[in-house]
Structure 1
Amino acid sequence: MIALVAAALLGAAQAPCTPPDGTDALLAMERRYIVVGELHGTTEVPAAFAQMVCAAAQRGPVTIALELPTVMQPQLDDFLAAPDEAAALAALEGTHFLNPRMNDGRSSRAMLDMMLSVRGLQAAGRDVAFHAFQPSTPRPPELSQAWYELDMGHALAGAAHARPQAKVLVLVGNLHARKTGFERFTDVGLPAVGHRPAGEVASLNVAQQGGSSWSCRASGCGPDVSVARYDEAARGIILETDAEGAYDGVLALGPVTASPPVVEDPGPPASAGSSS
């Protein structure tokens, strides 16, 4: 009885979830995997994903699968199990997430905020866990991108094997989130999500509606313009299979803003004798 009362108090103390419109219909689908295919480096997508996780966790166990190296799994477990936020952040020290050279958007401040929100769900008594599924073993140059997608799909399958009772919510780049291959890019083969049973996956493509994202180019990293290719007025989750069968719908959040990495790359060291 005491445990039941404590769980009720924890649930009451948790802030209400504010997921995108259409989340309830999405979660009601009998799909083990709910995939959000993003353009890395935005503020809005991880924030919306966090609220989708919040809504899913009210229904039952949730595994949060992230496009982070599989070698980070122990640190992600420690992050979630840490007694306080300071200890949680300390658990990430030395990982790819805090490496300023790995700042392509997957280690953004918005991503960290999302991960901290998952800790809040656990503190409120929800059954949540992280699962890293980016292959850590470098792909030999003799093998095409298709092999990397196969490895990623296999790592993603591990989320279901580890917690078969849980719904798996996946945040990943939109190329990997496709359920079908590309006609033009044959070296990609079947993307990672396409290696999961199609009937167990609902994949959303984040609509490009303008704004900016944090990306890296040869000239350096920083905010980059995101081209508007979708109805700029649309909002929420719109379940509609595209012509290629690649996605089951879109997640429309409006114009996005760039989220810089937690640790920004300081750039090359100044040469001897130079001044600022």
Structure 2
Amino acid sequence: MKRWLWMAVTVASMVCGTAAAVPAGGVGDTATQIVTLAGDHRLVVLGEYHGTAETPLLVADLMERYSRDNASVRLGLELPMSENAALARYLRSNGDADAREALRTSPFWRVKDGQHDGRRSRDMLAFIETLRVLRAQGRDIAVAGYDIEISAYDSDVDRDAEMATHVRQQFNALPSAARMLVLTGNVHAMLHPFEDAPPEMKHRTMAAFLLDLPLYSVRVEALRGHTWHCMSPCRAMPLLERPARDPVAETDPDRSYDVWVYLPELSVGTLTDR
């Protein structure tokens, strides 16, 4: 069995009603914190470090929780919208080898070297398989990308504005009372820039374009571990180690996020390019 499929089966068993109903390693605790703190907000934006093994597990747990009792949940991923047809086909499939190969070889997943910014990992493919399993069990789940093509990146401002437009369109198309989760890089999830942010991070971010919506922005951090960074070259970088801490909610009008949550640890996932 290929590694990413083995991971998918493992994750699915953790979030789909088997004995291991809550993922190990504190992911389940963090998911509980997010559900509690986000409350009735219908648009929950999760600001992540790309390329970790734990964040897909966290979002899988959230999708399972939010889709209980016939609730409708939609997920936005930082993938080009041109991938949406392939995503939809896979989610409707039986997840067999042909379906997996079709998804794995679509343009987004076939990048090499410096383009490997962490969004393309076997952990993310396993996560998509978990969502397919949930749908097959009758959950009202749908997934779509909201990003633009890499070749269309003009500037960070233009890209964030375009992504916000796509997220807004997807949110406005939600069924009545449905909830939408959006997984994105932690800069895109910022409501306002940090006061001491460098000039290149002072632009209006995706979340800042959506402040009129019932949005709740979550910064997903960790107490220790490694994340994937693309800073010539792309590589694993250590996180600053912190003592255990509770979520930190922000209330200032110019806050960067609504809350910071802390996983016990983050580790770099397995990139799709061997």
State TM-score, norm by structure 1: 0.79
Give the CA deviation at 1:217.
Answer: 3.7
Does residue 167 (structure 1) correspond to residue 208 (structure 2)? The answer is no
1:15-30 correspondence to structure 2 within 5 Å: 15=18, 16-18=21-23, 19=28, 20=30, 21-27=32-38, 29-30=39-40
* Number of the residue aligned with 2:116: 103
Does residue 256 (structure 1) correspond to residue 266 (structure 2)? The answer is yes
Between the aligned partners of 2:116 and 2:76, the Cα distance in structure 1 is 19
- Which of 241, 253, 263 is matched with 2:250 structurally? 241
* Contact 2:86/2:106 (8 A) holds in 1: no
* Number of the residue aligned with 1:73: 84
Over 3 Å counting, the alpha-carbon distance change for 1:103 and 1:182 in structure 2 is: same
Q: Which amino acid aligns with 1:241?
A: E
Give the CA deviation at 1:164.
Answer: 3.6
Does residue 191 (structure 1) correspond to residue 201 (structure 2)? The answer is no
* Number of the residue aligned with 2:54: 44
1:5-20 correspondence to structure 2 within 5 Å: 14-15=17-18, 16-18=21-23, 19=28, 20=30
Q: Which amino acid aligns with 2:245?
A: A
| DSSP-derived class of the 1:234 partner | coil
* Contact 1:14/1:121 (8 A) holds in 2: no
| DSSP-derived class of the 1:179 partner | coil
| DSSP-derived class of the 1:129 partner | strand
Give the CA deviation at 1:117.
Answer: 1.1
* Number of the residue aligned with 1:114: 127
Q: Which deviates more, 202-211 or 38-47?
A: 202-211
Instruction: String of CA shifts for 1:86-107, please: whole Å, max 9, x gaps.
Output: 2431232232123334421111
* Contact 1:214/1:260 (8 A) holds in 2: no
Between the aligned partners of 1:26 and 1:113, the Cα distance in structure 2 is 27
Does residue 179 (structure 1) correspond to residue 188 (structure 2)? The answer is no
Instruction: String of CA shifts for 1:35-78, please: whole Å, max 9, x gaps.
Output: 11011111111111110111111151111110011111111111
Between the aligned partners of 1:112 and 1:162, the Cα distance in structure 2 is 26
Over 3 Å counting, the alpha-carbon distance change for 1:98 and 1:58 in structure 2 is: farther
* Number of the residue aligned with 2:11: none
Select the structure that is richer in helix. 2
Over 3 Å counting, the alpha-carbon distance change for 1:87 and 1:48 in structure 2 is: same
* Contact 1:146/1:188 (8 A) holds in 2: no
* Contact 1:209/1:254 (8 A) holds in 2: yes
* Contact 1:232/1:255 (8 A) holds in 2: no
Between the aligned partners of 1:64 and 1:217, the Cα distance in structure 2 is 28
After the TM superposition, which parts of structure 1 deviate over 3 Å for at least 4 consecutive aligned residues? 13-19, 137-141, 181-184
Over 3 Å counting, the alpha-carbon distance change for 1:203 and 1:213 in structure 2 is: same
Structure with larger Rg: 1
Over 3 Å counting, the alpha-carbon distance change for 1:86 and 1:195 in structure 2 is: same
Where does the alignment leave 5 or more consecutive residues of structure 2 unmatched?
1-15
| DSSP-derived class of the 2:125 partner | helix
**Matched residue count:** 244
Q: Which amino acid aligns with 1:73?
A: N
Where does the alignment leave 5 or more consecutive residues of structure 1 unmatched?
1-12, 265-276
Over 3 Å counting, the alpha-carbon distance change for 1:85 and 1:239 in structure 2 is: farther
- The percentage of counterpart residues that share the same residue type is 25
Between the aligned partners of 1:17 and 1:88, the Cα distance in structure 2 is 28
- Which of 203, 218, 227 is matched with 1:204 structurally? 218
* Contact 1:146/1:187 (8 A) holds in 2: no
Does residue 35 (structure 1) correspond to residue 45 (structure 2)? The answer is yes
- Which of 146, 167, 170 is matched with 2:157 structurally? 146
Give the CA deviation at 1:201.
Answer: 0.6
Give the CA deviation at 1:182.
Answer: 5.1
Alignment RMSD (CA, Å): 2.4
